[in-house]
Structure 1
Amino acid sequence: MKKPISFFVHHQGRGHANRTMALASEFSKDRPVSVLTAGPHLFDGFSRDIEIVTLPNMIGAGVPTPRLFAEPTPSVMHCVPLGVSEMRRTMRTILDHLDDRGTGLFVVDVSSEIGLLSRVASIPSIQIRMHGDRSDIGHIGAYEAAVGMLAPFDERMEQDDYPAALRAKTFYSGGLCTTEDDVPDKAEARARLGLDPAREIIVVLTGGGGSGTPYAPLTVAARAAPDALWLVLGPTHREGHETDFSNLRELGWVRGVTDYLAAADIVIASAGDNTVHEIARVGRPLVVMPEWRYFGEQARKSEALVRLGAAVSEPVWPGDLAGWRALLDRARALDPHAIRTLYDPDAAQKAAGWLEGLCDELWNGAAEGEDKDENGPALSVVA
């Protein structure tokens, strides 16, 4: 029997879960797969046979006393408050599950602490790589503790400051997009959506991990390009003083995001992993406006996109008409081929093959159940 592969899946947004489902769908059918997450609803309707283990939601869990709350966080970790029962139950549930199933490879998407926990428990782990300023001892420790890292993006998107030794143990899948809708050409997409075939259309896209696109800058944009139709997908954040304009439409969450992207002349979006690769898959000029994320994740990814000529960006949203007009002119001058090459339709298949191959390689030669033998394997551990 093949060794099981287990996933820890962070439940913020939908990207971590969608990526896990894309990978698991490509595993061989006889590979046991389990998912440990505080967001089991994210996997509703997933067709592949996987085991879902519900974890407590640790986010926002209270620390029981002021004295415990006052204890400083050690530099090797990022978020480890003391006295939190939800954290104890989470770690116990993870370890019990991995031990009971005899997990061969634990894919962590994402948590440095859980990656370190896996190494302490003698379970090989993979860290999903994300962009950002992650040279702190906590991240480096988790990367060094892992048997490998999976970067679900093109290697050209790598940061120059990422250590060579860690880069050597990273598998770059190419741009992994979890959306599978067919991509129509621009004319067909506009016909499907009932949009003017000739008018300039600018689509603003918000991912699922934040509070929404700020609406006020978009009202200035609509005034700066009054002949364009601005379509805003996903939530927006209002400050309360905005003036609406007829060429600026808020559509909220929509079905068939791919059709809207295909209908667009320009896309304005944040720098979330799947968001970027959705746009790359369609191949539209991108204005990337990074949202705040821990460790500067989206800012660093935006830098890589601009460096490759795949997008244009500004440090902050333009606040005047001239600023918006200049930014849009730069977007119109982009060659869409640059961003299109960052998407790889076989990325999930490549990543899944690498994970399965690594798992089998790590355990090749182990007798059935040998990892659970209390007498120990042939290689002894010296303290």
Structure 2
Amino acid sequence: MRIGYYAHHHGSGHCRQADKLAALLSLELRSQMTVFTSLPADGYRFSSISDEHIVRLDAEDERPDDVLAGRAGEYWQPSCLHYSPVGNKDIQRRSWQLLDEIHQRQIDLMIIDVSAEVAMLCRTASVPYLYVRLAGERDDAPHLNAFAGALGLLAPYPKALEAAATPDWVRQKTLYLDFLPSKAQGLPSFCEFMDELMTLTHDDAIHKQLVASVDKSSIVTVIKGYGGHEAIDAKLPKLRQILPDAIIVSLGPINDEVRHCVDIAAHVDDVTPFIAYSNLLLMACGLNAIAQAYDYATPLIVLPDVRPHREQEAMAEALIEQGRALSWPQFIAKASTMDSQNLLSSLSTNNKSIDHEQTALMSKQANLAAQRFMNSIADYISVKAWFAEWLLPQLDLKPKK
């Protein structure tokens, strides 16, 4: 089957997900996958999809000559859409472009990640689609309509992290792909990791502390992205107070007024060694960040950013319910009962159910769901046959004829 993948332009995560799925196909079959996005070329560089299989769509921003604004309110906006300007020339062009490219490239099945508007466009044009479900509580009318209009739903996270409020029918219609595999990178040894830490600071005192460290018990890593890092930065003075002797590493942006609370502040290309070899992680609950940390035994404190549909809050609640993470208040309460060294030891003991030798095996098993899904697409020529013979048995659902 020829697959079209619509990747929303907010952030690079949607294009990254498309890239990860394409990587599960053979090189020959990747040429049958086309990505549609309005993210500019410098917003994300694909590694598994060539430029000729990327369609750059017009933007969908509001224009001063719109007849109606995108969110015109009750009586002016269809309840099945989140955003629908009227008379917007850019959106008209992108809609024509999307449908024309689907027709010209003979796309059999669209994967929509994410847009209720593109979902409705495909459904009204009778184009089969699967809809990618992000984490959180997405029970508003546009989302539910997009879910109902899809042949099936895709969740790029484990079923165990599903939001408690998700309706049963939405769960049943969902294929849980677990966390999609990232491009494989070898994990350096602990000694190599320590050498990397040495290069991230010119402070002689920190160098001596790193040299004197015989294990990872004193390394605490704080991982932040560029959205909402201030909330995590606000916790750094308290973190330093609780762990005065730890080597605290801040990865990502940091406010100048709290820089003194950390020993190392840096930007790195790969956070995996920090996840693997730290004794404690403090981070938000973005999908890609949690996907990287989930299979490691490193204790995790989650500080979810406030996002629409409680996206990160729901992820944090599921992690805490599993016993995989602590909330900040839980960490503070635990810290009040013991000294810093015993605190770190206690947190590590609670996470011994997963060790680093198991990580590769767990990741391989988790990747099987996504691989099976992509293999099924490669195995079938007809969407109708795939839907009836492969997808519906997976979902244990049967639509009315």
CA distance in 1, matches of 2:35, 2:10: 15
Aligned to 2:225: 207
CA distance in 2, matches of 1:63, 1:323: 59
2:253 to 229, 235, 242: 235
Matches within 5 A, 1:266-345: 266-314=280-328, 331-332=347-348, 334-335=350-351, 337=353, 344-345=363-364
CA distance in 1, matches of 2:317, 2:49: 37
Aligned to 1:74: 78
Matches within 5 A, 1:52-131: 52-59=54-61, 61-64=62-65, 68=69, 71-72=72-73, 73-131=77-135
- Is 1:15–2:13 an aligned residue pair? yes
TM-score by length of 2: 0.78
CA contact (8 A) 2:297 2:351 kept: no
Aligned to 2:263: 248
2:238 to 220, 229, 237: 220
Task: In structure 2, give the amino acid aligned to 1:362.
Answer: V
Distance 1:137 1:316, change over 3 A: farther
Q: Residues 224-245 of structure 1, C-alpha deviation per residue, up to 9 Å, x if partnerless?
A: 3110111111123x3x7x3542
Task: In structure 1, give the amino acid aligned to 2:168.
Answer: A
Distance 1:69 1:344, change over 3 A: closer
CA distance in 2, matches of 1:223, 1:82: 55
How far residue 127 of structure 1 moved from its aligned partner, in angstroms, is: 1.1
How far residue 291 of structure 1 moved from its aligned partner, in angstroms, is: 0.8
CA distance in 2, matches of 1:42, 1:346: 31
Aligned to 1:372: none
Q: Residues 246-300 of structure 1, C-alpha deviation per residue, up to 9 Å, x if partnerless?
A: 643321x212321222231111111111100111244311111111211110000
CA distance in 2, matches of 1:105, 1:266: 43
How far residue 338 of structure 1 moved from its aligned partner, in angstroms, is: 6.0
1:262 to 267, 270, 276: 276
Q: Residues 102-125 of structure 1, C-alpha deviation per residue, up to 9 Å, x if partnerless?
A: 111111111122112111111111
How far residue 220 of structure 1 moved from its aligned partner, in angstroms, is: 3.0
Matches within 5 A, 1:157-168: 157-168=161-172
Q: Residues 53-74 of structure 1, C-alpha deviation per residue, up to 9 Å, x if partnerless?
A: 1112324x33436864773243
CA distance in 2, matches of 1:184, 1:224: 29
CA contact (8 A) 2:69 2:84 kept: no
Aligned to 1:35: 35
Task: In structure 1, give the amino acid aligned to 2:321.
Answer: R
Matches within 5 A, 1:166-205: 166-184=170-188, 186-194=190-198, 195-196=210-211, 197-198=213-214, 200-205=218-223
Aligned residues: 357
Distance 1:68 1:183, change over 3 A: closer
CA distance in 1, matches of 2:339, 2:98: 52
TM-score by length of 1: 0.81
Q: Which stretches in structure 1 are left out of the alignment for 5+ residues?
A: 366-383
Aligned to 1:368: none
CA distance in 1, matches of 2:370, 2:13: 16
Distance 1:118 1:337, change over 3 A: farther
Distance 1:140 1:353, change over 3 A: same
Q: Which stretches in structure 2 are left out of the alignment for 5+ residues?
A: 199-209, 387-401
Q: Which moved more, 1:351-360 or 1:99-108?
A: 351-360
SS in 2 for 1:345: helix
How far residue 98 of structure 1 moved from its aligned partner, in angstroms, is: 0.9
Distance 1:119 1:276, change over 3 A: same
CA contact (8 A) 1:76 1:138 kept: yes
SS in 1 for 2:288: helix
Aligned to 1:136: 140
Distance 1:292 1:323, change over 3 A: farther
CA distance in 2, matches of 1:67, 1:52: 31
Distance 1:148 1:68, change over 3 A: closer
CA contact (8 A) 2:3 2:111 kept: yes
CA distance in 2, matches of 1:348, 1:53: 28
RMSD: 3.4
The structure with the greater share of residues assigned to helix is 2
Q: Residues 324-373 of structure 1, C-alpha deviation per residue, up to 9 Å, x if partnerless?
A: 989x66744531536988963355563254145256452449xxxxxxxx
CA distance in 2, matches of 1:259, 1:111: 35
Distance 1:66 1:97, change over 3 A: closer
- Is 1:362–2:358 an aligned residue pair? no
1:145 to 149, 159, 163: 149
Of all paired residues, the percent bearing the same amino acid is 27
Q: Which moved more, 1:166-175 or 1:134-143?
A: 166-175
CA contact (8 A) 1:177 1:274 kept: no
SS in 2 for 1:130: coil
Q: Residues 32-79 of structure 1, C-alpha deviation per residue, up to 9 Å, x if partnerless?
A: 1111111233453524446011112324x3343686477324332212
Task: In structure 1, give the amino acid aligned to 2:158.
Answer: D
Task: In structure 2, give the amino acid aligned to 1:169.
Answer: K
